[in-house]
Amino acid sequence: MLSSRNVIVIRRLTDRHRAYTGIFLPGEPPRIFPTSDAEHGRILQIYKQDRLYADIVNDFSEFSIGSDAPLPARPPSTEA
């Protein structure tokens, strides 16, 4: 399990008129600002979220993005 002190979440957010980058850190208010696709891509590079890196946990490692490895099976839901 990840320690919350090491977690940064970067997401691309869009509405009908603009695209935004959202940066989320534990215990901090979200930072959401308008960005172009190129600016968002550069932010992902800076924070090592643009590809799989050794010893870095990101969407590419967590969700096997860009690899042929199958995703881990989810346990059955216990919700009624």
Helix, strand, or coil (residue 45):
helix
In a domain, 68, yes or no: no
Q: Record the tokens describing residue 61, joined without a space.
A: 């490692």
Q: What domain count does the chain have?
A: 1
In a domain, 15, yes or no: yes
What residue ranges in the chain does DSSP mark as E strands? Answer: 9-14, 19-24, 31-34
In a domain, 69, yes or no: no
Blockwise average pLDDT, block size 10, the chain, 80 residues: 65 94 92 94 85 81 68 58
In a domain, 18, yes or no: yes
In a domain, 72, yes or no: no
Note whether 13 and 19 are within 8 A (CB). Answer: yes
Task: Give me the domain span that covers residue 29.
Answer: 6-62
CA distances from 21 to 3, 13, 18, 32, 50 (A): 23, 6, 10, 6, 14
In a domain, 55, yes or no: yes
In a domain, 20, yes or no: yes
Q: What is the pTM of this model?
A: 0.62
